[in-house]
Amino acid sequence: MSRVLVADDEAHIREVAQYALGRDGHTVDLARDGEQALARLAAGGIDLVVLDVLMPELDGLAVCRRARERHRVPIIFLSSRTEEADRVLGLDLGADDYLTKPFSPRELAARVRAVLRRAAGPAPALAPPPPPLRRGRLALDRARAECTVDGVGPIALTVTEQRLLAALLEHPGRVLSRDQLIACAYDGDHHVTARTIDTHVRNIRGKLAAHGVDAIATVHGLGYRGV
C-alpha cells in the first residue's frame, strides 16, 4: 500500500486519478494547488506525487523545484503540453516521468506502479544489499540510495538518475545503448524515448561536475560509457 498525492487544479482530473489509483490499491491524497501540495509533502508520508504542470499561481514546475530542495519522493508530471521541450524541462527539474493529458486512467496507474517499483528497488528480505559501486572519487551506495564524492554528499540524484548511473558504473568501459539504459532504468518501459535518457544523463553530468567528477563519456551514434 502506497500513499500517492495528486495535485491538480481540475476537480475532474483529481477524481479520475483518485478512482484509478484507489482501485489499484493506493491511498490517495488530493491537493487543488501548488501550496497545498507542498504543505502535504511537508507533513510527510507521501510515496509518490502526481503533479499537474499548469496550475495557477504556483505551477507544477515551481512545486517540483521547491520539492526537490527537501524531498526525494518520485514525481510524475501531468500536462496538456505535448511538445518535447516541455517534457525535457520537466525531466530536467527532477521529475521521474511525464504523462500528457488526456490520459488513460489505466496508463496512469501503470506508470505509478512502474515508478514506485523502481523507487523501491529489490526487497532486502529477498536478497542481500548490493555493494557500493566505486569509481575513483565517486561512490554510489545503492542500498542507502546515496551518491558521494570523496565521502561528501549525498549528491541529490533522482531514483531514475541513480539507476542510470549504477548501470554505467557496473560496466566500466562498456558502451551501453540508449535502449539498454531504458531497460536498466525504466524496466523497458516502451513509452520512454532516447531523448529522455539524454536528458537524465545531462542532469547526472551536471550534478557530478559540480563536485569535479566526470564519470560518463558519450560514444556518438552508440550510447554512453562509464569511465
pLDDT in tens, the chain (227 residues): 799 999 999 999 999 999 999 999 999 999 999 999 999 999 999 999 999 988 888 888 888 888 888 888 899 998 887 667 666 777 777 788 888 888 899 999 999 998 998 887 654 444 577 888 998 899 999 888 899 999 887 898 888 899 999 999 988 889 999 988 888 887 655 567 888 889 999 999 999 999 999 999 999 989 999 88
Task: Please report, for the domain that includes residue 12, its CATH number.
Answer: 3.40.50.2300
Q: Pick from 66, 87, 120: which residue ends a domain? A: 120
Residue 52 lies in a domain: yes
Q: Would you say residue 184 lies in a domain?
A: yes
- The reply to whether 164 and 113 lie within a common domain is no
Residues 35 and 102 in one domain: yes
Q: Evaluate whether residue 204 is within a structural domain.
A: yes
Q: Are residues 7 and 36 in the same domain?
A: yes
Q: In degrees rounded to 5, what are phi and psi of residue 146?
A: -130, 135
Do 111 and 79 belong together in one domain?
yes
* Residue 128 domain-assigned (yes or no): no
Last residue of a domain, one of 120, 146, 181: 120
Determine the structural domain holding residue 168 and report its residue range: 133-226
The pTM is what?
A: 0.56
What sections of the chain are H helices per DSSP? 11-23, 34-43, 60-70, 84-92, 105-120, 159-170, 178-186, 194-209
One domain, residues 106 and 43 = yes
Q: Indicate whether 173 belongs to any domain.
A: yes
Domain count, the chain: 2
116 and 17 in a common domain? yes
Same domain (yes/no): 9, 116: yes
115 and 139 co-located in one domain: no
Identity of the amino acid at 138? L
Asked if the structure places residue 126 within a domain, the reply is no
CA distances from 5 to 20, 43, 113 (A): 13, 12, 14
